[in-house]
């Protein structure tokens, strides 16, 4: 069975607004749990999946089943991923990431859960971020479980694929580049340096489950929060939507900042349909929260 990649609205939900005051009120009260998605990173040059020009219009993400079943699929994934990492790994946090980090330093947040795998929350200075879908900055061996830095794998792949520099059609949210089968045909994959096993990025692929302990940790964060603030996520997949449903069931206000409709709108008290970076920056200024710390960019 293929994973859920898209969603069509079937229920009535409040329309989006351009009034961010409910978000300001929630932040002012404190105890806000942030749940972020790919839309927060688009201003850093990383495309999202489903927004305008999203990568799903041209690209079907690798599934866990395909990756583990086929050496050819792994070759294509690592060829695209190796080329994409050269760009993806240099991405810098944008104004939205910096605002979230500032809210945390100012004591307004109870935590941050991100569906993103780019590490930009941490680069901006956020602490204790729960990476729901893992991180592209790490690699795991499917045989021995050893974790290693992505930069180490990148170095090894460079050594055995000298001169590999095809022109890609674009970069995707999962960090891989758009390449044809022919462009990836001669790419060489390296095994785990410890046991010779198959290497996989330490991320949750489509069709793969988030580790149960991580899910329970996030559920506890929802229980302990005063409200849930969703930033830049369509909430199409259940991995994030379940926390919205939990918060609403527990009577916690759910607030969403996302230009397009989301699968969680019916559970939210408001959806602010404004650009994330400018909106969060304006909220920080309104609340007297200084924007400093972390790397700069975007």
Q: Which residues are annotated as a binding site?
A: 37-57, 115-118, 141, 144, 192, 195, 232-234, 276
Binding residues for Zn(2+): 141, 144, 192, 195
Binding residues for NAD(+): 37-57, 115-118, 232-234, 276
The closest of 92, 58, 298, 68 to 171, measured between CA atoms, is 58
The closest of 94, 69, 37, 30 to 253, measured between CA atoms, is 30
d(CA 173, CA 184): 19
Burial 115-152 (b: 16+ CB within 10 A, else e): bbbbbbbbbbbbeebebbbbbbbbbbbeeeeeebebee
d(CA 5, CA 243): 19
Grouping H, G, I as helix, E, B as strand and the rest as coil, residue 146 is coil
Catalytic residue among 82, 121, 133, 267: 133
d(CA 162, CA 66): 27
The closest of 120, 149, 137 to 46, measured between CA atoms, is 120
Asked whether 228 and 254 are in contact (CB, 8 A), the reply is: yes
User: What DSSP character marks residue 41?
Assistant: G
The CA dihedral of 264, 284, 36, 13, to the nearest 10 degrees, is: 10
Catalytic site residue 82?
no
d(CA 123, CA 112): 14
Show the tokens assigned to 172: 């995707």
d(CA 80, CA 166): 10
Catalytically active residues are 133
């Amino acid at each position: 069975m293929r994973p859920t990649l898209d969603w069509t609205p079937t229920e009535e939900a409040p329309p989006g607004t351009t009034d961010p005051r409910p978000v300001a009120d929630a932040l002012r009260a404190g105890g806000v749990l942030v749940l972020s998605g790919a839309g927060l990173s688009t201003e850093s040059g990383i495309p999202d999946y489903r927004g305008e020009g999203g990568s799903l219009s041209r690209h079907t993400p690798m599934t866990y089943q395909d990756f583990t079943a086929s050496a050819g699929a792994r070759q294509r994934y690592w060829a695209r991923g190796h080329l994409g990492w050269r760009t993806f790994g240099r991405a810098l946090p944008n104004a939205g990431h910096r605002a979230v980090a500032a809210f945390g330093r100012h004591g307004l947040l109870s935590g941050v859960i991100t569906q993103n795998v780019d590490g930009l929350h941490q680069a901006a200075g956020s602490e204790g971020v729960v990476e729901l879908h893992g991180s592209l900055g790490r690699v795991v061996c499917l045989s021995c479980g050893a974790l290693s830095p992505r930069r180490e794998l990148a170095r090894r792949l460079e050594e055995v694929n000298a001169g590999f520099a095809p022109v890609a059609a674009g970069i995707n949210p999962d960090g891989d580049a758009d390449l044809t089968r022919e462009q990836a045909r001669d790419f060489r994959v390296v095994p785990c340096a410890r046991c010779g096993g198959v290497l996989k990025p330490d991320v949750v692929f489509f069709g793969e489950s988030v580790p149960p302990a991580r899910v329970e940790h996030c559920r506890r964060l929802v229980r302990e929060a005063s409200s849930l603030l969703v930033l830049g996520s369509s909430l199409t997949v259940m991995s994030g939507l379940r926390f919205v449903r939990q918060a609403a069931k527990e009577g916690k206000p759910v607030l969403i900042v996302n230009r397009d409709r989301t699968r969680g709108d019916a559970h939210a008290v408001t959806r602010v349909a404004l650009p994330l970076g400018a909106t969060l920056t304006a909220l920080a200024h309104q609340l007297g929260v200084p924007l400093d710390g972390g790397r700069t960019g975007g």
